[in-house]
Amino acid sequence: MPLDLVIPDLLLAQHPVNEAREPAKPAVNGVWFWGEGRLPEGVARRHALVYAREPFALGLARLTGAEARDPPASIAEVDLVRPGESALVVLDGLVATLRRGDEDAWLAAAQALDERWFAGIEKAVARFGSVRIVLPAGEHVRVATVMPSARWRWFRARKPLAAHA
* DSSP per-residue string spanning 99-126: HHT-HHHHHHHHHHHIIIIITTHHHHHH
Distances in Å between the Cα of 77 and the Cα atoms of 51, 71, 117, 148, 149 are 11, 9, 10, 20, 24
Handedness of CA 1, 45, 61, 90 (dihedral sign): positive
* Nearest-angstrom CA–CA distance, 99 and 151: 33
The whole-model pTM stands at: 0.68
On whether the CB atoms of residues 85 and 128 are closer than 8 A, the answer is no
pLDDT digits (tens, 9 = 90+) for 39-86: 777 788 889 999 999 888 898 899 899 999 999 999 999 987 788 888
* Nearest-angstrom CA–CA distance, 105 and 165: 12
On whether the CB atoms of residues 145 and 130 are closer than 8 A, the answer is yes
pLDDT digits (tens, 9 = 90+) for 86-100: 899 998 888 778 778
Least confident of 16-20, 74-78, 138-142: 16-20
The two beta strands, 140-146 and 131-137, are antiparallel
